[in-house]
Amino acid sequence: MATFLYKLGRLSFRRRHFVALIWVALLTLAGVGAASAPAAGNSSFSIPGTEAQKAFDLLEQRFPGTSADGATARVVFKAPSGEKMTDPGNKATVQDTVKELSDGSEVVRVTDPYQAKAVSKDGTIAYAQVSYKVSGMELDDAAKGALKDSAQDARKAGLTVEIGGDALQAVPHTGSSEVIGIAVAAVVLVITFGSLVAAGLPLLTALIGVGIGVSAITGLASVLDLGSTTSTLAMMIGLAVGIDYALFIVSRYRAELAEGREREEAAGRAVGTAGSAVVFAGLTVVIALVGLSVVNIPMLTKMGIAAAGTVAIAVLIALTMIPALLGYAGRKVRPMGEKGKLLGRAKKQAEPGEQGKPAKPNLGTRWASFVVRRPLAVLLLGVIGLGAAAIPATSLELGLPDDGSQPTSTTQRRAYDLLSEGFGPGFNGPLMVVVDAKDSDDPKAVFTETGDEIKGLKDVVTVTPAQPNKAGDTATITVIPGSQPSSVTTENLVHGIRDAGADIKADTDANVLVTGSTAMNIDVSEKLNDALVPYLVLVVGLAFLLLIVVFRSILVPLKAALGFLLSVMAALGAVVAVFQWGWLSGLMGVEQTGPVMSMMPIFMVGVVFGLAMDYEVFLVTRMREAYVHGEKPAQAVVTGFRHGARVVTAAAVIMMAVFAGFIGSSESMVKMIGFGLAIAVFFDAFVVRMAIVPAVLALLGHKAWWLPKWLNRALPNVDVEGEGLRATSGDDDGDRELVRV
């Protein structure tokens, strides 16, 4: 591995014009494809295998032309104080609004509140439901404008009018905080390298990689049914890892220059050593992201594969374009220990015994020396601290966002609150019961029996009469619960209806299915919970085997996996504290607290595991490199920190800045994931990798690198440490690889 990458690095350095041309051509091709492709819509949301999805599919078959997946809008009216919606003037205003709404070209139907009995018992609130032919993301601006104008006309007549539903759904935006995150990354790179040129290389290559990846996703969005969130998350992950991978290679290149090597040789060695770590770190991220497909939720699968593709591009760019750009930069990228004019020129750090004075140890060396002297205390402190941060995770509540999770400043949230006020909290989460009586002898009797059974269940407020299709073999029944959609009581009601349906099937051969957004949310949460353990086994198992090959050890990969579990649980605890409990919600821009999105835990597990292994590979491979070259275990830990701590710290700060930049997104899922990943990187990089890892390695000593002889013979030798590079490069000075402490 190291030898191949060494040759690739030297080739890219020499043939830099050709390499740069290839990547620019790919970026141009992807950009043209994205520009000419139709805009990304709202990815269709389906959950194969769930009862809610089966019911939805059945509706498509038995009720054709009803646009079951079309956008809906609930226009909610409230009468002025002291008046009723049934007063003649208010009634005339509502009916004029209904007529105005019916004129839209994309409108399928509009219900009249007075005919549909959609007026609250006290007469103060009413609503009209508008159904459209297309989804909310596909609804054109003219239709949305007409909807808003109709509501405004009713407001002028003195009514309070708000609009709920997904008809006003907008493409999410990230805001200026994303740019701030990139700016912070640029500042960290400048401080790390002391040079604008050296700092600019990781940013440039990361932007090119993300540009290719996101443009490809945009170009294929319509064909592959990719939602706008997919490209946002691919950008988030790709930008973070792209900067980090390039940072590690440029840093190693400067270290090789400081050893006195020529620039082409230094580029080859940087790619051969740090590049090997990049390959394996990238593989762990790709495994974690592609592994999301085991959950069998198409949207999650597409998000994972798209982000994995962007990570793969980031790895390839780091291995080829970075050495090419280093060739262009020439002497503007200086050896480690030298700084350019930007931060003041400095001499190389003196080695021990040079000029009669010992070199002052850097911060990484001092910290590692402290940890290896007191490993047990550091280990206990780190574990207890992460355990405390994870405590809120015990109160984790899962759900999918609805209008109730919107900020109170939005019309969707105000409409949600008005409907709760007028019709009860369960009205915002109606359940749709689909009765398939095709195999039954008396479908009408089955429809009646089903309605009567549901009326006898707890927490049921309203059960509408069955609405059969033209064939008369299938009917829908709307059930209004007494509790809000995200409550445990409503979840119990869904299961109660399904249990009653099982009894009906046994007696009549009719299938009773429960669907609707509330039932779908419940099914998604259960499906994700069921998939979490298999997903962990698959991803952690594959990565564990990969790390055994990299580190030639059993205990080091085991320690890496356990450390990851600590950091991800602590990160989930932080997410619960902010987004569910409301701690620091104002600082994070969280206007409305509520359940954590169902996809958040498993998505965080996948992404954080991949990123956690990044730092594990980058930091511990340098320790193993020192250990393989003859240093004692404790000394190897210090050596690894001496050369890796500064770079890993910079990489972690950059990744945190990039992820934190997405907290400003208007999309609640992107905001939550941005915060969750940023805090997870903080816990993993600064607590697990910087404290717990060296403490554990110091306690284990030589045992940390133990591997059974039979397994050692069976495993392929990937040579991440670059042992074979000395023969390849003609370097006879074996001691040059040893690092003095």
Per-residue pLDDT reduced to its tens digit, 248-286: 898 888 888 888 889 899 899 889 888 888 888 888 888
Residues 622/741, Cβ–Cβ less than 8 Å: no
Q: Can you give the pLDDT at residue 145?
A: 86
CA–CA distances in Å: residue 486 to residues 55, 477, 481, 595, 666: 20, 21, 11, 8, 22
Q: Can you give the pLDDT at residue 347?
A: 45
Q: What is the mean pLDDT of the chain?
A: 82
User: CB 646: neighbour CB atoms within 10 A?
Assistant: 16
CA–CA distances in Å: residue 519 to residues 461, 513, 589, 699: 17, 10, 29, 51
Residues 86/64, Cβ–Cβ less than 8 Å: no
CA atoms within 13 A on the CB side of 220: 16
CA atoms within 13 A on the CB side of 582: 5
Q: Can you give the pLDDT at residue 739?
A: 34
Per-residue pLDDT reduced to its tens digit, 177-219: 567 777 888 888 888 777 788 888 888 888 898 889 888 877 7
Query: What span, in angstroms and rounded, lies between the C-alpha atoms of 653 and 739?
Result: 26
CA–CA distances in Å: residue 187 to residues 83, 647, 682: 61, 14, 18
CA–CA distances in Å: residue 566 to residues 60, 113, 538, 539, 608: 45, 54, 18, 16, 11
Three-class DSSP labels, 104-118? CCCEEEECCCCCCCC
Q: Can you give the pLDDT at residue 355?
A: 45
Residues 474/62, Cβ–Cβ less than 8 Å: yes
Q: Can you give the pLDDT at residue 574?
A: 93
Amino acid at 571: A
Task: Specify the pairing of strand 72-78 against strand 467-468.
Answer: unpaired
Would you state the structure tokens that stand for residue 412, as one six-digit string?
């969707």
Query: What span, in angstroms and rounded, lies between the C-alpha atoms of 210 and 238?
Result: 6
- For residue 349, is pLDDT > 90? no
Average pLDDT over residues 380-402: 88
Q: Can you give the pLDDT at residue 176?
A: 55
> DSSP states of 467-522 as a string?
EE-TTSSEEEEEEEESS-TTSHHHHHHHHHHHHHHHHHHHHH--EEEEESHHHHHH
Q: Can you give the pLDDT at residue 513?
A: 92
Q: Can you give the pLDDT at residue 345?
A: 47
Q: How confident is the model at residue 139 (pLDDT cuts 50, 70, 90)?
A: confident
> DSSP states of 430-474 as a string?
-EEEEEE-TT-S-HHHHHHHHHHHHHTSTTEEEEPPPEE-TTSSE
Q: Is the dihedral of CA 612, 614, 615, 616 positive or negative?
A: positive
Q: Can you give the pLDDT at residue 173?
A: 52
Per-residue pLDDT reduced to its tens digit, 601-651: 887 887 777 777 777 877 888 888 788 878 898 999 999 888 788 888 888
- For residue 22, is pLDDT > 90? yes
As to burial, measured by CB atoms within 10 angstroms (0-12 exposed, 13-18 middle, 19+ buried), residue 585 is: middle
User: E strands, 345-427, where?
Assistant: 398-399
Query: What span, in angstroms and rounded, lies between the C-alpha atoms of 391 and 571?
Result: 10
Average pLDDT over residues 141-147: 84
Query: What span, in angstroms and rounded, lies between the C-alpha atoms of 424 and 427?
Result: 6
CA–CA distances in Å: residue 88 to residues 38, 113, 127, 226, 394: 48, 14, 16, 48, 54
Query: What span, in angstroms and rounded, lies between the C-alpha atoms of 218 and 201?
Result: 25
**Which residues, in sequence order, are bridge partners of residue 515?**
432
Q: Can you give the pLDDT at residue 699?
A: 92
Higher pLDDT among residues 737 and 264, named by residue: 264
Q: How confident is the model at residue 737 (pLDDT cuts 50, 70, 90)?
A: very low
**Reported pTM:** 0.76
- For residue 174, is pLDDT > 60? no
- For residue 465, is pLDDT > 90? no
Q: Is the dihedral of CA 79, 83, 86, 89 positive or negative?
A: negative
In angstroms, the first-to-last Cα distance of the chain is 28
- The helix/strand/coil state of 338 is coil
Q: Would you mind telling me the total number of residues written for the chain in this entry?
A: 741
Q: Can you give the pLDDT at residue 44?
A: 54
Average pLDDT over residues 642-664: 82
Per-residue pLDDT reduced to its tens digit, 521-564: 888 888 888 888 888 888 788 878 888 887 888 998 888 888 88
Higher pLDDT among residues 664 and 17, named by residue: 17
Higher pLDDT among residues 357 and 84, named by residue: 84
Helix axes 600-628, 668-682, angle to 10 degrees: 30
Residue 718 region by backbone torsions, left for phi larger than 0, else alpha for psi between -120 and 50, else beta: alpha
Per-residue pLDDT reduced to its tens digit, 416-443: 899 999 988 888 888 989 999 888 888 8
